[in-house]
Chains A and B, each alone.
Chain A
Amino acid sequence: MAGKKTVFVDSDILVIGGGFGGCGAAYESRYWGRDKKVVVVEKANIERSGAVAQGLYAINCYMGMRWGENEPEDYVRYQRNDLMGLVREDLGYDIGRHVDSTVHKFEEWGLPIMTDPDTGRYQREGKWQIMIHGESYKPIVAEAARKAADAVYNRIMVTHLLMDKKQPNRVAGAVGFNVRSGDFYVFQSKAVIVAAGGASHIFKPHSAGEGMGRTWYAPWSSASAYALPIRVGAKMTQMENRIVLTRFKDGYGPVGAYFLHLKTYTQNGYGEPYEPTWRQSIEDMVGDYVNHEPVPTCLRNHAFLKEVEAGRGPIRMVTKEAFKDPHKEIVGWENFLGMTIGQAVVWAANNIDPKEVNPELVMSEPYVMGSHATCSGAWASGPEDYAPDEYQWGYNRMMTVDGLFGAGDTLGGTPHKFSSGSFTEGRLAGKAANKYVDDLGTNTPEISEEEYLELKEQIYQPLETYRVGRNEITAGTVSPTYLLPLSGLQRLEKIMDEYCGGVGQRYMVNEPLMTRGIELLKMLKEDLKNLGADGLHQLQRAWELHHRVLASECVTAHTMFREETRWPGYYYRGDHPKLDDKNWHCFTLSQYDERTGEFEMEKAPVYHLVDDVKQAAE
């Protein structure tokens, strides 16, 4: 757009997204690269941006090696078990061996971690979780990142990565626009670390009015972490592995502390236990995996879903007993106030006091992310000291594009990282990126003026489309020539819900449905050329939609490719209703070709830690 300034920023290491992965990357990049220029670019304000805006009440990934509580191997087994066998065990081990030092640093920085009065150790919520007073978790971590970085650019929506014009398949920077001033930003960097969080609003949420804002994952998790690397041809993995969460109804309040610490349990609408009822049906689908301890998250969902379909809902959390204990009551409420305030509001509004009422649970719409009980994301290189050859091409946490690193929700194959693991992965990426930059020497990447000018044109197009198209109509939101971002988003959510296994279809999908879904996504993608934005805020929404649509195409391609039902309770392939280890005990990989708009799919092997293979054979 004419009249908008272009601002050039040079850096050695560019961190895209100032959430948990990004803050870890900034800290570590500075620690190892004292002479490097480290720049963080964030679409909101780093003080409160990302999934941890509200705070957290638990750190869900902590080994406790100092007290002999868990070893990295135990963590790998837990990840593998919960994800039905398919995780990048090399990456998981790496998180496990480093995460404790991250948590100890958080404590030193001022994060209040609760301690067990009897043992003096961190207060365990469960085997992997420790309890914190984490209202200011994000401001504390942001303080460390702000001090570490040469500059933090807030309110800049990154829209595209830039590639090197000298050497193919090498990243050279990124472009975006300032949501306040409208200025166009061109970042040139030797290494780029993407840490832009996961994806909500891919699938239609339960609530369609105001309540669509109360998704489980944050509404600002806009799939940028996937769309940015996908567009430049980085390989993605396990994008079909979307997650469905069992949560308290309407507010999506977390259940972890209730199950693990408060020892509450679930019942059907008639006060009966229901999980045993469905054990056989699970075994018929997944065989031996039914015996895993703890029961994989998706399989517990399956029992919930089946019980409700059998007409015995609603499923409730039995809290009345536990909440008689005043300590447990405080924990129950503070757990929400610390990380999902909306749930406390829902209960206050409905006069639900869990001391007197057993609150309802619900199964959420699906989400695409890579740090919870799910592992969608980019395919990344493993640690230098032990990763198998097929998992390694030089630098830890580097994607299949040279110089492009990732952390947190961005990277695939490593579930159960949560906040501490995402920050740790950012640290790993930061150290590796520093080494990559050192090794480049003078062979540095260069951006292409032609490319960024062309992108600039595209980026601001929705403002122009709206400005001109607006003359056609008297007033209102209905136009035959432009598409408002909200309309486009709702169209995407409806397609994904109906054709890719959303909550409206009870998570059921098959090849004919997805074939039609892909046709509909294609038309939506064509229509994105007509997005209209009435200002910079809507321009941000327009680019968030672009990112969500590209990620959704990738999710659909992966779901189509994996011809089995690996995670019943997350989604079901009606045409391949069983788990199939013979043919599908592997990762799915995709690579996008921007010229043709096609995803090239392939399988990649799963490697397991050897002592466990032995144990399995015995």
Chain B
Amino acid sequence: MPTFVYMTSCDGCGHCVDICPSDIMHIDPVTRRAVNIEPNFCWECYSCVKACPQNAIDARGYADFAPMGHSVRVLREEDKGTISWRLKFRDGREKHFESPIRTTAWGSIKCASEYEIPSNEAINSQELAHEPDYLKTDQGLPSVTVDHFIKYELAPASAAKKKSKKVSAQAAE
């Protein structure tokens, strides 16, 4: 369901242009309001819908397979850490859902460089940042040794001499 923009709601702030992963929300040269310039590259990801401060963006199911008259609208409230959905079926039935989206304050993540500088020993080990503590086991980081790996031998003919083959995709110059 590609997105579209309500003329009387959009104030031309540009947030949808900034967020769209498909780069298809743009500012129309006649109205200076947002418009989906390539509906056939719209994933209905709702990133723009959620980002619009005016709730000016809505979506209409893809013309190829969605009968008309439905509505799926959303309110993402960052400060409350919630996302609320309201679905309207073609026949008018409604469904409502609300879910949490985050359990910590926005911007609160501790930067990777705020942790203690890792030791040389850690740098040369197989451990990643915060390991082994963050595995939350008392086993340490699991490992195996190379002799745990056994090669699967193919039939002799092709195992003796590795089969090599060229597949030409050369541009005929």
| A–B contact via C-beta, under 8 angstroms | yes
- Say whether A208 faces chain B, with CB atoms less than 8 Å apart: yes
A44-B20 CB under 8 A given contacts A386-B144, A601-B164: yes
Residues of B within 8 A of A590 (CB): 167
Nearest B residue to A526 via CB reads: B171
Residues of A within 8 A of B72 (CB): 341, 344-345, 348
A101-B148 CB under 8 A given contacts A111-B102, A427-B129: no
User: Which residues of chain A from 134 to 148 have any CB-CB distance to chain B below 8 Å in the complex?
Assistant: 135-136, 140, 143-144, 147-148
A518-B21 CB under 8 A given contacts A607-B152, A610-B147: no
Interchain CB contact under 8 A, B102 and A140 = yes
A66-B21 CB under 8 A given contacts A72-B142, A386-B149, A583-B158: no
Residues of B within 8 A of A383 (CB): 126
A601-B63 CB under 8 A given contacts A135-B83, A351-B89, A608-B149: no
When each residue 433-457 of chain A gets 1 if its CB lies under 8 Å from chain B and 0 otherwise, what string results?
0110000000000000000000000
Residues of B within 8 A of A213 (CB): 2, 22, 39-44, 62
Interchain CB contact under 8 A, B19 and A48 = yes
User: Which residues of chain A from 327 to 372 have any CB-CB distance to chain B below 8 Å in the complex?
Assistant: 330, 333-334, 337-338, 341-342, 344-346, 348-351, 353
Residues of B within 8 A of A605 (CB): 151-152, 154
A353 to B90, CA, bound (A): 11
A66-B136 CB under 8 A given contacts A98-B131, A338-B99, A386-B149: yes
A65 to B169, CA, bound (A): 47
For the complex formed, measure the closest distance between the CB of B61 and the CB atoms of chain A, giving whole angstroms.
Answer: 4
A140 to B78, CA, bound (A): 12
The count of chain A contact residues (Cβ–Cβ below 8 Å) is: 119
Interchain CB contact under 8 A, A609 and B112 = no
When each residue 593-618 of chain A gets 1 if its CB lies under 8 Å from chain B and 0 otherwise, what string results?
00011111111011111110100000
Interchain CB contact under 8 A, A28 and B148 = no
For the complex formed, measure the closest distance between the CB of B95 and the CB atoms of chain A, giving whole angstroms.
Answer: 6
A214-B44 CB under 8 A given contacts A97-B142, A97-B143, A603-B158: yes
Interchain CB contact under 8 A, B150 and A608 = yes
A509 to B82, CA, bound (A): 48
For the complex formed, measure the closest distance between the CB of B63 and the CB atoms of chain A, giving whole angstroms.
Answer: 5
Partner of A585, one of B128, B146, B152: B152
For the complex formed, measure the closest distance between the CB of B2 and the CB atoms of chain A, giving whole angstroms.
Answer: 6
Interchain CB contact under 8 A, B169 and A351 = no
User: Which residues of chain A from 64 to 97 have any CB-CB distance to chain B below 8 Å in the complex?
Assistant: 65-66, 71-73, 89-90, 93, 96-97
For the complex formed, measure the closest distance between the CB of B97 and the CB atoms of chain A, giving whole angstroms.
Answer: 6
Consensus secondary structure, chain B interface: loop
A207-B62 CB under 8 A given contacts A110-B104, A518-B168, A603-B163: yes
A190 to B46, CA, bound (A): 37
Nearest B residue to A96 via CB reads: B142
When each residue 115-151 of chain B gets 1 if its CB lies under 8 Å from chain A and 0 otherwise, what string results?
1011000010010111110111101011111111111
Q: A-B pairs with the 9 shortest C-beta distances?
A: A110-B104, A211-B64, A101-B134, A597-B170, A349-B66, A211-B62, A557-B167, A342-B44, A31-B129
26 contacts between A and B (CB under 8 A): A27-B112, A28-B129, A31-B115, A48-B21, A53-B21, A65-B136, A104-B134, A111-B103, A136-B101, A147-B109, A210-B62, A210-B63, A211-B65, A213-B39, A213-B62, A250-B66, A349-B61, A351-B90, A387-B149, A424-B128, A521-B169, A525-B171, A537-B38, A561-B165, A602-B162, A607-B152
Q: Which residues of A contact B (CB under 8 A)?
A: 27-28, 30-32, 34, 43-45, 47-50, 53-54, 65-66, 71-73, 89-90, 93, 96-98, 100-101, 104-105, 109-112, 133, 135-136, 140, 143-144, 147-148, 155, 179, 207-215, 218-220, 250, 330, 333-334, 337-338, 341-342, 344-346, 348-351, 353, 383-388, 390, 424, 427-428, 431, 434-435, 518, 521-522, 525-526, 537, 540, 553, 556-557, 560-561, 582-586, 590, 596-603, 605-611, 613
